[in-house]
Structure 1
């Protein structure tokens, strides 16, 4: 994958992605710990976006809120992130939650 060449600390915001123009599920590059990491937007507003990203070359992910200086559009495919759903993996799927509730009477 080819990450953006510029540091987000440059004075210009050319190429910066305003968080309010991206939506849940959009592919982005996230600047974290001095490098660009592949990520997926979970939610966004006018000033920031919450993204799930790979903080290292492993299959693990992290979630963080970042400003527009730390976001760039990503067109490359990431085999770990792009197969995952945008939903929180720690939350059961709605169908599973319904079946669980019916069994326990909650």
Structure 2
């Protein structure tokens, strides 16, 4: 198998938030944010490992800034540790401020479980 560098697993993904993504405080549901982060990590893991992967762990998430209607959230994910299980920090930001500090997501290949 050909060597893959961690930098080659980089994923940039943007997501627009819509009215059905908001809670009664008119801010994005935290679970929706986690789902988007998990999807970015999943793409990065698959690019790096060339295998189907699932998330087994997500480190603590602290939301620093609420996401309001009409905002777009951008996600950056890349492998920082290349052996399985992979470690992928996912960094969601809106154009003006980080939403949460980079959160390590740990996926594993399906045939490794």
Q: Which has the higher contact order (CA 8 A, sep 6+)?
A: 2
Give the helix-richer structure, 1 or 2: 2
Q: Same fold (TM over 0.5)?
A: no
Q: TM-score when scaled to structure 1?
A: 0.29
Q: TM-score when scaled to structure 2?
A: 0.28
